[in-house]
Structure 1
Amino acid sequence: MSLVPWTRRPLVGLDLETTGLDVDEDRIVTGSVVRWGGGLPTAARDWWSDMGGAEISADATAVHKITTEQARAAGRPAADVVAEIAETLSEYAQQAWPIVVMNAPFDLTMLERECARYGVRSIWDSTPVVLDPWVLDKYLDRFRRGRRRLIDLCQHYSVKLEGGAHNAEVDAKAACAVTWKIGSRYPRIGRQDIGDLHEMQARWARELRDEWLAWQVERFGECDDSPYDWPFIPAPQGAGA
């Protein structure tokens, strides 16, 4: 890893808008990969997918405002879109630039399932390092009251959401800016080797998940037992594409 602190190197933001919240069944609608910071001009690549014939749920449209008809009209073949997103991330990962993903297990698991669906090479073949502003913020300031959505973190860290939330490019840029602010606010994190920081976040994410499950059991007598890991959730054994 470079001796230059990661806060002074480019960050690579990823954000996806999807047909729904089921990482195993839903599909990518739009995606954006953004190179941000490090003294370089911001560069973004954006994609629209035809979703391989899938439909966008009403709940998802209510969030990102994209309808099935709009996506099909503007989208390119889903297999091509997935391949290009994965290839772009892999190229950046090979330069040892961290991939910034807000709530990484959702977007990265969604992308991994899509890669498997279309026979696309996994980004994990390039061993990317991931920075997740949700995990960093929650672990470092866990007792702060209030919600921790990207829009909330932007407000807390004084990051402007140019154009509003739930646009893939806007959200990818904002996630990078928030992550950079966290690294600057907590110098021990900003100076941390990114490979070590990746592993630290994996431990922190599991600790935070265990605390949340314990709270659910105490409050409701049961908890969400769905599969979980960070930065992505491995496919169930025997699951097909």
Structure 2
Amino acid sequence: MTKSPTGFDATRMLSFDLETTSANPLEARIVTSALVRIDGRSVDAVEHLADPGVEIPEGATKIHGISTEKARAEGRPHDEVLAETVQRIKRAWEDGLTLIVYNASYDLTVLRQLTGDFTVTGPVFDPYAVDRIKDPYRKGSRTLTSMCEHYGVELGNAHEATADALAAARLAWKQVRQWPELKRMSTGELMEFQAVGYHDRQSDFARYLAGRGKDASTVNTSWPMQG
């Protein structure tokens, strides 16, 4: 992984979001992929609709609004969208940008299970993980919609991939202003901060479930991808 002594630069980001066929990242296939590249004053947003090659469950369609019929009629081949998504992420890292992903352990696990070999070779900033680590005792939901309300960020159409990606970038910008020590961390320090903090929060959640007689075996403690 590329090391950066200068820390996180909130003016140079690639914000990334997927809408998929399943909430389980080990089974999901891409329906839409959005990548918003922010480099100084330049903002370039790209969104791809994919034909996932399988039926899109009704529950997933209710979330993101894309039916099997629409994806088949208008979507690009799934593997083309996957390959271009990974290519743009890798190029952003090569160019020194930070990848912004809300709940990175989901989206990046999807990429790994679909490609078989996706690896993280550059910095990742996950507003979901950062919020849980920095403000662990705040009550209420930590969905993207709730987080945007808490931080005063405009969301637009929730579960529309580009809107979600833009919102994640705005959350990251707000968080480094609220906790300026985040942007002073090197790449290695930032990644370790999120990985260790995510593991601790998830381990606490697993103990909470176990203490109430509930199954905690499916709680993922690995960040930025499921182990």
Q: Which TM class, normalised by the smaller chain length?
A: over 0.9
Contact 2:4 2:188 in 1 (8 A): no
User: Could you say what secondary structure the match of 1:6 adopts?
Assistant: coil
2:192 matched residue in structure 1: 199
1:130 to 124, 128, 137: 124
Residues 22-57 of structure 1: per-residue CA shift (max 9 Å, x gap): 222221000011112x52221111111111x21111
1:136, CA displacement in angstroms? 0.3
Q: TM-score, normalised by structure 2?
A: 0.93
1:5, CA displacement in angstroms? 4.7
Q: Distance in 2 between matches of 1:218 and 1:3?
A: 42
- The amino acid across from 2:134 in the alignment is L
2:80 matched residue in structure 1: 80
Are 2:42 and 1:41 aligned?
A: yes
1:88, CA displacement in angstroms? 0.5
Q: Distance in 2 between matches of 1:213 and 1:230?
A: 15
**Amino-acid identity (%):** 34
1:166 to 159, 163, 181: 159
Q: TM-score, normalised by structure 1?
A: 0.88
1:187 to 169, 177, 180: 180
User: Could you say what secondary structure the match of 1:82 adopts?
Assistant: helix
Q: Distance in 2 between matches of 1:171 and 1:209?
A: 23
Residues 147-185 of structure 1: per-residue CA shift (max 9 Å, x gap): 0011111111111013x1001111011001101100111
Residues 70-91 of structure 1: per-residue CA shift (max 9 Å, x gap): 1111111111110000000000
User: Could you say what secondary structure the match of 2:76 adopts?
Assistant: coil
1:142 matched residue in structure 2: 136
1:97, CA displacement in angstroms? 1.3
RMSD: 1.6
User: Could you say what secondary structure the match of 2:42 adopts?
Assistant: coil
User: Could you say what secondary structure the match of 1:17 adopts?
Assistant: strand
User: Could you say what secondary structure the match of 1:31 adopts?
Assistant: strand
User: Could you say what secondary structure the match of 1:165 adopts?
Assistant: coil
* Greater relative contact order structure (CA < 8 Å, 6+ sep): 2
Q: How does 1:91-110 map to 2 (within 5 A)?
A: 91-110=91-110
Are 2:222 and 1:232 aligned?
A: no
Residues 92-121 of structure 1: per-residue CA shift (max 9 Å, x gap): 0112211111111111111111112xxxx6
Q: Distance in 1 between matches of 2:138 and 2:6?
A: 31
1:18 matched residue in structure 2: 20
Contact 1:10 1:40 in 2 (8 A): no
1:222, CA displacement in angstroms? 3.0
Count of residue correspondences: 224
1:209, CA displacement in angstroms? 0.5
More moved, 137-146 vs 192-201 = 192-201
- The amino acid across from 1:47 in the alignment is H
2:51 matched residue in structure 1: 50
Q: Distance in 2 between matches of 1:71 and 1:54?
A: 10
User: Could you say what secondary structure the match of 2:112 adopts?
Assistant: helix
Contact 1:20 1:26 in 2 (8 A): yes
Q: Distance in 1 between matches of 2:130 and 2:69?
A: 37
Per the alignment, do residues 72 and 130 of structure 1 end up closer, same or farther by CA in structure 2, a change over 3 Å counting? same
2:31 to 19, 29, 32: 29
Q: Distance in 1 between matches of 2:186 and 2:164?
A: 25
Contact 1:31 1:168 in 2 (8 A): yes
